[in-house]
Structure 1
Amino acid sequence: MDINTDKYKNITRNLEREMINLNPIQRGGILPTESKKIIYEYWDGYSVCDYCSGRLDQIETPPINEFLEDMSKFLGMDITRPTHGARESKYAVMNSICKEGDYVVLDGNAHYTSYVALERAKLNYEKTDIEEYPTFRVIPESYAEKIDMLEDSKKNIGLILLTHVDGNYGNVADVEKVGKIAKSKGYPFLLNCAYSAGRMPIDGKKLNVDFIAASGHKSMAASGPCGLLSINKKYEDEVLETSKVNVLKELQMLGCTSRGIPILSLMASFEHLIERVKKWDLELEKTRKVVNELETLGFKQIGERPRNHDIIRFETPILDEIAEKDKRRGFFFYEELKKRGIGGIRRGVTKEFKMSVYGLTNTQVDYVINSMKSIINELR
């Protein structure tokens, strides 16, 4: 067999080492030094299973079992399991507590993986309303309206799903209001925390949620793919049902999930997560400063105001104007940022872009702001 494997050797990535990364899907997943060290110890395939007696969540060395108990406390829930990501967590809930053909009532800002998960579980959906441009906020009262509509039509509702923070606009949904509606109507409530748990404080019990789907690689400083599913004890028997063939293995987890570096890097980052969510107010201060400063250039922030999350979406007509006369066209902004050691903004984007300064120092934030100002002032 003649296969040239040279192209797979010496693959490199220097974005984090040499540049300031503004990609909002990555800012919450950047590993602290202690997590990078543990990768060296566990980079072999099944190394996490050296002392496994049959199930990942019960492993004592390394202390995965204790970590999951502590993570439940951190999230204000009862029971936690590792998964490969928030999408797998959502699917596990849908596939276990819903019946084929049931409806999932979900918000108008729901991530595509929520739809993929419910399709895979052979469910239907009803999408709630959101506010129009430029805020695009979830309207909590729309949940009650959609539930009433489905009930009047004799449709079976299996689950209420809300995206805590959406990836398009960075809006923070009113979880408590939606939770009260779900509870009053008697339906289980799943909160997608892919962009919130690990970045900002979360307390599932206070928020009235039954399930939390979290992402380790998006928001918990873990090497992906890694996620968590936290549940209330009320749903333990349904969601964590075990196999009839191998009574130790949980069906929705397909036995075991995140084996190796992902779960160990998340464990190593746990202290870092606990400390950084205490500084959420400081993160919001930096984010709001970026909005205030860059809007002086003609950028327009889209989504709720003031910012309650680090994801920022800008409309940028001034970049469009510059692209019309710059020989690099739409690539000028990316190239100018790169010259200044800044990455994470998509190449060729001029009409709008998303960014985040989560975890950056104040000095770095000022540098980003001043760099963008200099680019606009030099080229406009």
Structure 2
Amino acid sequence: MNLDIYKNLKRSNRELINLNPIQRGGILPVEAKKAIYEFWDGYSVCDFCSGRLDQINTPPVCKFLEDLAEFLNMDLARLTHGAREGKFVIMNSICKEGDYVVLDKNAHYTSYVAAERAKLNVAEVGYLEEYPTYKINLEGYKEVIDNLEDKNKSIGLILLTHVDGNFGNLNDAKKVGKIAKNKGIPFLLNCAYTVGRMPVDGKEVKADFIVASGHKSMAASGPIGVLAFNDEFSEKITKTSERFPIKEVEFLGCTSRGLPLITLMASFPYVVERVKKWSEEIEKTRYVVESLEEIGFKQLGVKPKEHDLVKFETPILDEIANRDKRRGYFFYDELKKRGIVGIKPGVTKEIKISVYGLEWEQVKYVVNSIREIVDKYA
């Protein structure tokens, strides 16, 4: 074994402008970075644990979960290792084997895998329009549910992806929540790309469950997720072990501990404040879309943008790549020369970007840099 490769591990692009949508919401504030120093030893969160992660008072995990539930306007909150684990906890605890989960066609792959692991079936709600918007037909939830009921199929859960990770389409959760309530079916809202970036009110949208991602959207180092739910389902979700009565079965006793939890907590005041600036983030995003469409990019997904994740078709970049000796890597190289990363190396047909959290000066620098690259090679 060559153990030297594990020495002095460094991240080469740490100081550069990062446009990767999966990372923009996970950038830590100074407060979280300082907290890492205090808790970087393994299990340091458990100095004063009496057996339950959610009952630890020092550091104030117990109070944090109460505040987190209030922040989301839900009754209770628990921690998971990610949004995907939260989905599985819900499916495993409230559904019966063979039940159907009705979900949108833009759902993350982990929504499907969680259902498969819980031995459930899946029924998709399709698009109101495919290319170029890929907008989900939210009224289609009722149609899919009616069809399943006509066939005497048992429906255990309705799942809506609040914002999908491919096109960045924001769905009207209240509309689906109303359908769920009228049908008497539990409603799960996947907020991996929304909680922590923008305001989310669980009661307002009639959600029974919310899952969120700390490392994607709540400025935590991760991996860590949030599961918020209402009292009606607390008995099933927080059921404790017969042999170890203090331990909650669905969470295998304890979930995410250490730095993922500490950074999530330390970043929480920062996150609470930054969601109040959501309208400005949308303004930045729309500026990027308008500016880049002027040079031949084409935004996919619903217009105007209502979320910071943007997917573009980029035929102009692909055309340049066909002539450049670096092929598809030319764009990545040129951006990195200008201190910008986050675009996948070698990709030029379509790209995904986000400028969430960047200052206006940085946003304009990104736009001008891309314009400059296109002008230079086109």
> Quick one: which of 19, 35, 43 aligns to 1:46?
43
Provide the C-alpha distance between the structure 2 equivalents of 1:328 and 1:54, rounded to a whole number of angstroms.
56
Q: The residue matched to 2:160 in structure 1 has which SS?
A: strand
Provide the C-alpha distance between the structure 2 equivalents of 1:305 and 1:4, rounded to a whole number of angstroms.
52
Q: The residue matched to 1:88 in structure 2 has which SS?
A: helix
Q: Partner amino acid for 2:294?
A: T
Provide the C-alpha distance between the structure 2 equivalents of 1:243 and 1:139, rounded to a whole number of angstroms.
41
Partner of 2:254: 256
Partner of 2:59: 62
Provide the C-alpha distance between the structure 1 equivalents of 2:33 and 2:247, rounded to a whole number of angstroms.
30
Deviating 4+ runs (over 3 angstroms): none
Provide the C-alpha distance between the structure 1 equivalents of 2:233 and 2:255, rounded to a whole number of angstroms.
19
Q: How does 1:88-107 map to 2 (within 5 A)?
A: 88-107=85-104
Partner of 2:277: 279
Q: How does 1:109-128 map to 2 (within 5 A)?
A: 109-128=106-125
Q: The residue matched to 1:39 in structure 2 has which SS?
A: helix
> Quick one: which of 295, 300, 304 aligns to 2:298?
300
> Quick one: which of 154, 157, 167 aligns to 1:156?
154
Q: Partner amino acid for 1:184?
A: N
Partner of 1:212: 210
C-alpha deviation, 1:138, in angstroms: 1.4
- Tell me the C-alpha RMSD between the 2 structures: 0.6
| CA deviation string 1:24-50 (max 9, x = no partner) | 000000000110111111111111000
C-alpha deviation, 1:14, in angstroms: 3.2
Provide the C-alpha distance between the structure 1 equivalents of 2:66 and 2:328, rounded to a whole number of angstroms.
49
| CA deviation string 1:179-198 (max 9, x = no partner) | 00011000000000000000
Provide the C-alpha distance between the structure 2 equivalents of 1:172 and 1:150, rounded to a whole number of angstroms.
26
Partner of 1:349: 347
Partner of 2:179: 181
Partner of 2:287: 289
C-alpha deviation, 1:4, in angstroms: 2.5
C-alpha deviation, 1:290, in angstroms: 0.2
Provide the C-alpha distance between the structure 2 equivalents of 1:221 and 1:160, rounded to a whole number of angstroms.
28
C-alpha deviation, 1:326, in angstroms: 0.9
> Quick one: which of 21, 33, 36 aligns to 2:18?
21
Partner of 1:7: 5
Q: The residue matched to 1:16 in structure 2 has which SS?
A: coil
| CA deviation string 1:300-324 (max 9, x = no partner) | 0000000000000000000111111
Q: Is the counterpart of residue 329 in structure 1 residue 327 in structure 2?
A: yes
Q: The residue matched to 1:217 in structure 2 has which SS?
A: helix
C-alpha deviation, 1:163, in angstroms: 0.3
Q: How does 1:357-372 map to 2 (within 5 A)?
A: 357-372=355-370
Q: Partner amino acid for 1:378?
A: K
Listed as ranges, the gaps of 5+ residues in structure 2 are none
Q: The residue matched to 1:12 in structure 2 has which SS?
A: coil
**Kindly, what percent of the aligned residue pairs are identical?**
65
Q: Partner amino acid for 1:360?
A: L
Partner of 1:226: 224
Q: Partner amino acid for 1:267?
A: M
Provide the C-alpha distance between the structure 1 equivalents of 2:6 and 2:97, rounded to a whole number of angstroms.
43
Provide the C-alpha distance between the structure 2 equivalents of 1:141 and 1:334, rounded to a whole number of angstroms.
41
> Quick one: which of 29, 32, 37 aligns to 1:32?
29
Q: The residue matched to 2:369 in structure 1 has which SS?
A: helix
